[in-house]
Structure formats: C-alpha cells, structure tokens
Amino acid sequence: MPSSRRLKATGLLALLTLLTILYITHGTSSTHNSPFYTRTVAAIQARQSNAAREDLEAKQHQQRLERVEREHKVAMSAAKDDEVPPKPIPSAGVGATGNPYEQKPIAGRKMMGDGKVVHDASGKQEGDDGVAKVGNVGPQASRAAVGEDEEAKKEQQKVETALNEVLKKGPIIVFSKSYCPFSKKAKHILLDLYNISPPPYVVELDQHELGPGLQKALEKMTGRRTVPNVLVNGRSIGGGDDIEELHVSDKLMSTISTMGGKRIMKVEKAEPAEKADEKKAEMKFKA
C-alpha cells in the first residue's frame, strides 16, 4: 500500500495539472475577448485597408498620368504636322462639293448658281405618286418642310458664325458653364496659376444665347460635349481633370506652347500672392 506522502504528492500533481488545463483554456478565450487583443486586431486590419486603398489610388493616379502622357504626345505630333490656325467653319448651305452656288435638292429640283432649275430623272416632284389628291395637300406639306429646313439652316448659320467669332478671340478658348465645379477648376489653373499672353478667352455657355447650339457644334468639331472644353488653336486638350493632370505633371506649359505656336506670346507659372506682395513692398521701399 502506498504511503500517505506519496498519495499527497500524486493528488497535488493531479490538482496542478487540472488547474493548468483550466487556466490555458480560459485564458485563450478571454484573450480573444480582451480590449487589448481587439484593439490590436482592429489596428492591423485598418492598416491593411489603408495600404490597399493607397495602392489603388496610386494605380489610378498612374493610369491618369499615362493617359495624359498619351494625349500630350498625340497633341504634339498633331501640332508638328499642322501649325496653321484653324480655318473658319463653312457656313450652312454650302454643299459637300464646295460649290457655294449649288443648293441642296428640294422637292425633286436643284437650283444652280445661274438660276437654272434641274428636275430629277422622272420629271416629278418628291411625294408625287401619280394619284389625284383633294385640294393642295402635297405642295402645302412640301412648303412646310422647306420652311422648317430654312429655319434650321438659319439657326445653324448663326451658331457657326458665333463659333467662328469666338475662335478669333485668341489662341486659347475655354468653353465653360458658370455653375460647373470642373469649369471653375480649369479656369483657376489657367487664369490664376499661369501668366499666359494673350490670356485665355472664356465663354460661359449657360449665359450665351446660342449656348446649346455652340455645345452641339463643339461636339461635332472636337468630339467632346461636356464642359469645360479647352481649345488651343481649335484643338481640344480636354476638360478640368485633364488640365489638372497636365498641371500636376508640369506639362501644361509645353502643351500650350507647342499647340499654340507663334500665337502664344508668353506662358509661365504665376508667382504666389505673398511673393508678389513682397516684391511690391521692396520696390516701394527702394523708391
């Protein structure tokens, strides 16, 4: 029979083993629920999410820079090929053949420059199917269509004349809208952060009587309908985000100089207001 001392040692060892097991299991569960553990896990997860977000923003920024770089190269190559100012847009009524005296055929007839009227091969007017009609229905419909066509031509002619007049205002034209934040950003960069001579000419389309028509004409001319639309010698260099990218990548001055050619007298970065005030104060002090 084992002695009492051995029994006590065995019981004490079993009790210590049981307490150790209970401490380990309870300590693991309490550690996962402890404030220190939860704060540490949250901090690690936040750091990982911030790093992923920064990587995504860096990739997007790099993609924008690459897009601006491609547009810059295309603009420079186009400027090398053609440095001539844009030709005025042909007015409405001039045919695709370039003959200003030739009008579009109306109701099966074509009016030539010498006053002659040429009928179609069948010798009939448009819409004449040979069936008798009551009253003067056919000619009235044709006259109404001709009247609408004439009104559309007059409106288009007004828009083209206005656009040509705007393009003559300077080498840099900013088509903007007064309430658009992207337009404000582009105007701030071009007018406040740079000294450009001659200065960019701003057209607020929402305040112009032919604003919608000008916007449609710009879409046909540049392929861009949204505002702002910045034109240098009649070619678009983009909108607010594109101007910002060119400014951040320090390529705006070279783009304007290359595309503007001899029409651009000066383009340089403007000095901050504080330095300008300091120079004025120094000049006054010297005087």
Residue 185: per-residue pLDDT: 94
Q: Which of the 8 DSSP states describes residue 90? A: P
216 class by beta-carbon count within 10 Å (0-12 exposed, 13-18 middle, 19+ buried): middle
- Tokens (6 digits) for 279: 């120079």
Residue 110: per-residue pLDDT: 53
Domain 170-286 bears CATH identifier 3.40.50.1220: no
Residue 136: per-residue pLDDT: 47
Question: CA-CA distance, 137 to 133, in Å (whole number)?
Answer: 7
Residue 286: per-residue pLDDT: 56
Which parts of the chain have pLDDT scores under 50? 91-98, 100-103, 106-107, 117, 119-138, 141, 287
**Short-list 235, 211, 228, 207, CA closest to 85:** 235
- Rounded (10°) CA dihedral 82, 88, 90, 96: -10
Non-local (6+) Cβ contacts of 141 within 8 A are 127
Residue 81: per-residue pLDDT: 62
Question: CA-CA distance, 261 to 9, in Å (whole number)?
Answer: 101
- Cα angle vertex 143, ends 129, 133, to 5°? 35
Residue 21: per-residue pLDDT: 84
Domain limits, the chain: 99-123+145-168, 170-286
pTM for this predicted structure: 0.49
Q: Are 206 and 257 in contact (CB under 8 A)?
A: no
- Tokens (6 digits) for 194: 């740079």
